[in-house]
Structure 1
Amino acid sequence: MSFERTQEKLKILADAAKYDVSCSSSGSNRANKNKGLGDSTGMGICHSYTEDGRCVSLLKILLTNYCIFDCAYCVTRKSNDIKRAAFKVQEVVDLTINFYRRNYIEGLFLSSGIFKSADYTMECLVAVAKKLRLEENFNGYIHLKSIPGASDELMREAGLYADRLSVNIEIPTEAGLKKLAPDKNRADFIKPMVKVKNEIIQYKAEKKLIKSTPKYAPAGQSTQMIIGASGENDFQIMQTSNYFYKSFNLKRVYYSGYVPISYDDRLPKIGSEVPMLRENRLYQTDWLMRFYGFDVSEILNAKHQNLDLDIDPKLSWALRNLHEFPVDVNTADKRMLARIPGLGMKSVYKIINARRFRRLNWDHLKKIGIALNRAQYFMICDSNQFERRDLSAEKIKGLILQNSTSKYTKTLSNQMSLFG
């Protein structure tokens, strides 16, 4: 095949893959062996940032944008009048190796429209990963999208060659899926997730007994939801996330603000604003659930079904629960320290370590790097001064927003002064 045709395919299928945001990943430690290509140890993928600040990338493409389904929200739906293309298995292998050798990428993220059948499509994806591992001795990162409805046998094989597997549930609720993709069945999304979960559990159990047990999806599995296409509120979205985290031990749930791409009475109009801020608030809520000990019902519930867009979810929770504050940083446990707005987990551990040697006051907190611009209203220390002074929730919110606006204006002014 000519270089021009390959380049055209790459342009079409890389562009079609841009709507999938669930390609950021970490957790794999597939080491280089037998003088092979690549090494995924300690790396994130697809322009993600590793813990030491490095930015790494991957080849992110679809195998094909042909699809047998007609989902209203999808750019590759069969009724959409777009240019179609499909890679052969060997073409994807060659592209990955050539891009890697030129130092363009450090791994592969491969998804696909569903053509012919779920099993046929999944078999092609697995064939790419298998060729890379066995024929090219490629030890870099591979993330495969699981095709809804694919057989258990194919899902098992996929996990033996890929570092991470993911199946997008696409729409947060079953009712929303039926509305926008009536040909799809939620059970088909669940099936491969169950298989991957069980295989990972089995792998970990066998690994304890037999050290040479082949790795199975060492970076786990993830999923993605489209936000803003089907009308769910934030409470419904995060309840769904909570269910998938607890039921399938997912590494990540990704939230993708819907980009209006087609005229359809069931969807937001073309030109509607992409809900980027809402997407950000959902990620912040997800973070609170996974790392800060919050239960989803504390942040969102029947009385509070949508996240505040003007303040972050932890501050919103604190303002609705002022009876929990002030927190004494010299005596509070880790759980309550983590609930103080403005304190990240690194700050929490700094406080816990520092108070072993002295009772902390405001100066101590500043010296160890605690940002007090919002935290000061929710905590007390070894000082007679308490910044909250029985202020109402609205007053505290106003002061914090005012302070944030002032800091932004000052920063912008300083930046502009550099240009004379």
Structure 2
Amino acid sequence: MNWESIQKKLTILSDAAKYDVSCSSSGSRRQNQPGGIGNGAYSGICHTWSADGRCVSLLKILMTNYCIYDCAYCVNRCSHETARALFTPEEIADLTIAFYRRNYIEGLFLSSGVYRSPDETTELLIRTAKILREEKKFNGYIHMKGIPGTDSRLIRELGRYVDRMSVNIELPSSAGLKLLAPQKTKERILTPMRSIRQGIEERRENRKQSRKAPAFVPAGQTTQLIIGATPDSDRTILRLSEALYRQVSLKRVYYSAYVPAMTGPNLPALTQPPLLREHRLYQADWLLRYYQFSADEILSDDAPDFDVHLDPKACWALRHPEVFPLEINRASYHMLLRVPGIGVTSARRICAARKNAKISYDTAVRLGIVMKRAKYFITCNGRFYGMSSEPAFIRRQLLLREQTAAYEPMDLFGGGSS
């Protein structure tokens, strides 16, 4: 390889990939084979931090930032004057192996602009994946993009070689697409998502017949939504996420605060990314996936956007004073999950512990409940520890708690809460 040329391309295409956040812990079980290198099994590969706190890395680049689309918000749009580059599949494969051998990375995250056409772009991605898997015998983690508008046959072929795929929706409504990305449509985005879901389901059925059934996107699919580029409400975004989890079996939805890197008549005049709004969406997304909430419970027509001062779970609890306080010794698991300060792990511990004895305040603390939050919403053996159940009083106390939490040491081993 011409390393000087590769280095120049790498500088351009790694910088161009920084706006894509749709990758994290893989869940892959692709094991090494005799004569191969790399191992995606049981290693918690992700591009930032693993569940146990390890920092792990992927080679995160674009195959090319040449793009036929002219999305108003994108730094790679065809009308934007910027340095362009294109990696060949062979160069990407060689670069991945070289970085892996030097212990720089544990896998590859490869995205791309739409080069000439969605099908031609996907064919180049397939060729890259085949070189890595079949010629280089690379068994590490690979995450690649499903390009909207690609023929389903090509999506299915690519899915045989990669651990995870992501098809980025980016804008949460058809109106937003029409305004800022008129060459994209909802259907062109959803079609490859459905194809990936179908392939995953077929592979699951085939595995019931034979443990040797070929893999297909074993770590699932993800997507990314840009927050703040269009006037869509938080409720619109959250309802879309809920529908995607249900209809195409997404592993994760990633939310990316809009970075005002481009200017244009249809783009918002932001001075900085709406990072707090992004944070609230991640909190609400957690409630959808693990806390048995629905999008319409978290936000409503009357209140379609998040309170920037309080987390979504606390806001729900304050809107429903008729539900609280809950007696911790009798409340169902479902209702325990709705108490601020009680997480999934601590709710399970409560349900297990109260089979043997009644739970007191001190016991609740030992079970991992964050009592500084939960005490306003529960009773222990009929006793209330929150001083007042008045929503306005509780709100003031929770706001004070939010302000001081940043200065407290992080509990890495507690039961978790929201």
User: 2:335 matched to which residue of 1?
Assistant: 336
Residue correspondence of structure 1 range 102-181 to structure 2 within 5 A: 102-181=102-181
User: 1:400 matched to which residue of 2?
Assistant: 398
Change (3 A) 1:111 1:338: same
2:22–2:223 Cα contact (<8 Å) kept: yes
User: 2:50 matched to which residue of 1?
Assistant: 50
- Give the Cα–Cα distance (whole angstroms) in 2 for the partners of residues 406 and 110 of structure 1: 40
- Give the Cα–Cα distance (whole angstroms) in 1 for the partners of residues 407 and 108 of structure 2: 41
Change (3 A) 1:44 1:226: farther
- Give the Cα–Cα distance (whole angstroms) in 1 for the partners of residues 316 and 33 of structure 2: 49
Secondary structure (helix, strand or coil) at the match of 2:114 reads coil
1:155–1:195 Cα contact (<8 Å) kept: yes
Residue correspondence of structure 1 range 180-191 to structure 2 within 5 A: 180-191=180-191
Paired amino acid for 1:395: F
- Give the Cα–Cα distance (whole angstroms) in 1 for the partners of residues 402 and 272 of structure 2: 24
User: 2:415 matched to which residue of 1?
Assistant: none
Secondary structure (helix, strand or coil) at the match of 2:200 reads helix
Q: Please state if 1:286 is matched with 2:300.
A: no
1:145–1:165 Cα contact (<8 Å) kept: yes
Residue 407 (structure 1) shift: 5.0
Paired amino acid for 1:191: T
Count of residues paired in the alignment: 410
2:349–2:367 Cα contact (<8 Å) kept: yes
Tell me which stretches of 4 or more aligned residues in structure 1 moved more than 6 Å.
none
Change (3 A) 1:106 1:407: closer
Residue 388 (structure 1) shift: 4.7
User: 1:261 matched to which residue of 2?
Assistant: 261
Paired amino acid for 2:366: K
Q: Please state if 1:23 is matched with 2:23.
A: yes
2:343–2:369 Cα contact (<8 Å) kept: no
- Give the Cα–Cα distance (whole angstroms) in 1 for the partners of residues 366 and 9 of structure 2: 55
Encode CA deviations 1:372-411: one digit per residue, 9 max, x unaligned: 11100000112534325332x1210101222343454577
2:327–2:382 Cα contact (<8 Å) kept: no
1:46–1:60 Cα contact (<8 Å) kept: no
- Give the Cα–Cα distance (whole angstroms) in 2 for the partners of residues 233 and 390 of structure 1: 31
2:276–2:308 Cα contact (<8 Å) kept: yes
2:26–2:46 Cα contact (<8 Å) kept: no
Residue correspondence of structure 1 range 231-250 to structure 2 within 5 A: 231-250=231-250
Residue 257 (structure 1) shift: 0.5
TM-score by length of 2: 0.95
Encode CA deviations 1:214-241: one digit per residue, 9 max, x unaligned: 0111011111111100110101111111
Q: Please state if 1:358 is matched with 2:357.
A: yes
Residue 88 (structure 1) shift: 0.8
Residue 82 (structure 1) shift: 0.5
Encode CA deviations 1:161-193: one digit per residue, 9 max, x unaligned: 000111001100011000001122221111111
- Give the Cα–Cα distance (whole angstroms) in 2 for the partners of residues 338 and 410 of structure 1: 24
1:362–1:383 Cα contact (<8 Å) kept: no
User: 1:312 matched to which residue of 2?
Assistant: 311
- Structure 2: which 5+ residue stretches go unaligned? 410-418
Encode CA deviations 1:7-49: one digit per residue, 9 max, x unaligned: 1100110000000000113221111111411111233444333
1:23–1:45 Cα contact (<8 Å) kept: no
Secondary structure (helix, strand or coil) at the match of 1:31 reads coil
Decide which moves more: 216-225 or 34-43: 34-43
CA RMSD of aligned residues (A): 1.6
Q: Where is the helix percentage greater, Structure 1 or Structure 2?
A: 1
Secondary structure (helix, strand or coil) at the match of 2:11 reads helix
Residue correspondence of structure 1 range 69-88 to structure 2 within 5 A: 69-88=69-88
- Structure 1: which 5+ residue stretches go unaligned? 412-420
Paired amino acid for 2:26: S
Decide which moves more: 362-371 or 287-296: 362-371
Change (3 A) 1:258 1:408: closer
User: 1:417 matched to which residue of 2?
Assistant: none
- Give the Cα–Cα distance (whole angstroms) in 2 for the partners of residues 310 and 194 of structure 1: 37
Encode CA deviations 1:326-371: one digit per residue, 9 max, x unaligned: 1111111110111100111111122122212211111111233322
Change (3 A) 1:375 1:120: same
1:42–1:50 Cα contact (<8 Å) kept: no
Percent identity between matched residues is 48
- Give the Cα–Cα distance (whole angstroms) in 2 for the partners of residues 370 and 49 of structure 1: 25
- Give the Cα–Cα distance (whole angstroms) in 2 for the partners of residues 194 and 55 of structure 1: 32
- Give the Cα–Cα distance (whole angstroms) in 2 for the partners of residues 384 and 118 of structure 1: 63
Secondary structure (helix, strand or coil) at the match of 1:255 reads strand
1:73–1:261 Cα contact (<8 Å) kept: yes
- Give the Cα–Cα distance (whole angstroms) in 2 for the partners of residues 285 and 403 of structure 1: 19
- Give the Cα–Cα distance (whole angstroms) in 2 for the partners of residues 178 and 341 of structure 1: 39
2:155–2:192 Cα contact (<8 Å) kept: yes
Change (3 A) 1:233 1:48: same
Change (3 A) 1:402 1:109: same
- Give the Cα–Cα distance (whole angstroms) in 1 for the partners of residues 159 and 408 of structure 2: 51
Paired amino acid for 1:405: Q
Change (3 A) 1:60 1:376: same
1:308–1:316 Cα contact (<8 Å) kept: yes
